[in-house]
Amino acid sequence: MRLFLYGTLLRPAVLARFAGRALPLVPCEAPGWRRVRLRGTPFPTLRRARGAVAGAMVDADAQALRRLNAYEGMRYRLRRVTLRAGGRTTGAHAWIAAAATHRPWP
């Protein structure tokens, strides 16, 4: 499954640890979203907004997806997003939580 990563999993060492192996990161952006803080946590989520969120896409097999889903936890759900990379658009899934604030995530 193609995933859009926009927070802590952008660090290759963190991604490899929780995915169970290294996954190549491909830089991209998700138009129509803004990265914000998840209410009551230090973690990010996305909310609809003008602009775009920079991040990376990865292709995860079933085992890596299970491990990453466990890392993300119960507050996040996979939602379909559209990505732009190298002048092309593609679909992917991103973990997004419902309790988004309006505060930017660093």
Q: Which helix (H) or strand (E) holds 7?
A: none
Structural class in CATH, domain 2-98: alpha beta
For residues 50, 44, 96, 101, the Cα torsion angle rounded to the nearest 10 degrees is: -60
Domain map of the chain by residue range? Answer: 2-98
The DSSP output letter for 21 is S
Binned at pLDDT 50, 70 and 90, residue 80 comes out as very high
pLDDT in tens, 5-42: 999 999 999 999 999 999 999 999 999 999 999 999 99
| The length of the chain, given as a count of residues | 106
**pTM higher than 0.85, yes or no?**
yes
Cα separation, 74 vs 11, whole angstroms: 22
Task: Work out the average pLDDT over 60-72.
Answer: 98
Q: Is the pLDDT of residue 106 over 90?
A: no
